Structure 1
Amino acid sequence: MKVWDGFVRLTHWVVAGIVLWNLFGPTDSTHRLLGYVAAGLVIARIAWGFIGSRHARFSAWWPRVSHLVEYLRSLAKGKPMHHLSHNPLGGLMALLLWFLILALAVSGWIMRLDAFWGEDWPQEIHAWLSIAVEVCVCVHVVAAILMSLWTRENLIRAMVTGWKRVRKSSE
C-alpha cells in the first residue's frame, strides 16, 4: 500500500541530508542557509500534517498517550503492533526532531543578531541542540533498522519508495 507520499519522502530525505551536512560540514554561510532551508522544510511538513495525504496527516499518527502505552505494552510482549503510518514512538521522534531543527534555526539566527554579539549562551544552546539532534538521529536510525529486522518490514525502503506491506491488523 502506498503510505508515504512524495512530499513526505522528499522532505524527510532532504532534511536528513541537510542535518548530516550541517553536523559534519563547515559552519559557514552554506551552513546557515541550509539550516534555514531545513527549518522551512520542517514548517512545510508540519503544514502537510494538516492538509496532506491520509498517512501524512497528524490524525493518522499523532502519538496520543493511550496509543503510546498500548504500543509499549505490545513491545514488552514481543509482538509490536503494526502501523501503516508512524508508530507512536516514531511519531514522538518525528516531533522531537522537528522541534530540535526549528530550535537550531532560531538559536543560529539569534547568534547572528547584534543584540547578542559577544554573548556565549546562544552558541552554547546551539551546540547543545546540535548534540541532541545527533543523539536523536542515531536513535532514529538504529530504531528503524532494529524495527525493520524485528517486524520483517523494511521501514527504510518504505521511506524511499513510499510503499509498505499491508497486514490484516493494519490501521
Structure 2
Amino acid sequence: MDQPSIRVWDPLVRLFHWSLAASFAVAWLTADAWEDLHRWAGYAAAALIVFRLVWGLVGPRYARFRQFVRRPGATAAYLAAMLQGREPRHLGHNPAGAAMIVALLAVLGVTALTGWLYTTDAFWGAEWVEETHEAAASLMLLLVIGHIAGVTLASLRHRENLASAMLTGRKRAPSPADII
C-alpha cells in the first residue's frame, strides 16, 4: 500500500535543479576539450543562478529562501542531531540541505563569474582569475559529491527517495513529528 504524498517541489524548482546539475556536468566535462560548449554551459549556469535567486524570493512556499535557510546556530544544532541519528524530517529542505544550497549557489556563482571575467579584455590572461576559476570549479565538484552524499543519507534515514522527489515534486505526507 502506497503512503499518501503531497506536492512539495514546484516544476520550476525541479527544472532548475536538474538543469543546473546538467550545466555544471557539461562545463566540467568540456573544460579542456570544447571551449565554446564549456562557455555556454557556464552562461547557462549563471542564468539559472539568477533565476533561482529571484525564485527564492517570489516562488511558492518551499522554493523561498525564508522557508528553509536557517541561522548558523540552527544548522549546527541540526548537524549535531544528525550525528546522533535523531534529526527531524523536514518536508522542505532541512537546515544542512539549505546550507549546501547556499554554498553550491555561491561557489558556482564565483565559478561562472571568474569564467566570464577571463573572457573579457580586462582580465584575459590574468593568472589569479584563472586560478580562482579552477579552484572554485574543484570546490564545486567536492560540494556536489557532498550534496549527493547528504541526499543519500537523508533518504536512508527518513526512508524516502529524495532524488525521486526532485523528479516528481512529491514527498511523503508529513507526520506530526515532521517539520513542515
| Common topology (TM > 0.5) | yes
CA contact (8 A) 1:50 1:58 kept: yes
Q: Which letter maps to 2:84?
A: K
Q: How far apart are 1:33 and its partner, in Å?
A: 1.3
1:43 aligns with 2:57: no
Aligned to 1:163, which of 154, 162, 170? 170
Partner of 1:2: 7
Q: How far apart are 1:120 and its partner, in Å?
A: 1.4
CA contact (8 A) 1:108 1:126 kept: yes
Q: How far apart are 1:63 and its partner, in Å?
A: 2.1
Partner of 2:27: 22
CA distance in 2, matches of 1:149, 1:118: 47
Residues 3-152 of structure 1: pairs in structure 2 closer than 5 A:
3-25=8-30, 26-152=33-159
TM-score, with structure 2 as normaliser? 0.90
CA contact (8 A) 1:104 1:126 kept: yes
CA distance in 2, matches of 1:71, 1:118: 44
CA distance in 1, matches of 2:141, 2:81: 28
CA distance in 2, matches of 1:27, 1:139: 27
Structure 1 unaligned spans of 5+ = none
State the Cα RMSD in Å: 1.3
CA deviations on 1:44-87 (whole Å, 9 max, x unpaired) are 11111111011111121012234213312321331121111111
Q: How far apart are 1:150 and its partner, in Å?
A: 1.8
Q: Which letter maps to 2:175?
A: R
Give the count of matched residue pairs.
171
CA contact (8 A) 2:75 2:99 kept: no
CA deviations on 1:83-142 (whole Å, 9 max, x unpaired) are 111111100110111111111111011111212233211111110010000000001011
Of 77-86 and 89-98, more deviation after overlay is shown by 77-86
TM-score, with structure 1 as normaliser? 0.94
Q: Which letter maps to 2:50?
A: I
CA contact (8 A) 2:55 2:63 kept: yes
Query: Which structure 1 residue ranges, 4+ long, deviate > 6 Å from structure 2?
Result: none
Seq. identity, %: 36
The structure in which a higher percent of residues are helix is 1
Q: Which letter maps to 1:111?
A: Y
Q: How far apart are 1:27 and its partner, in Å?
A: 4.3
Q: Which letter maps to 2:161?
A: N
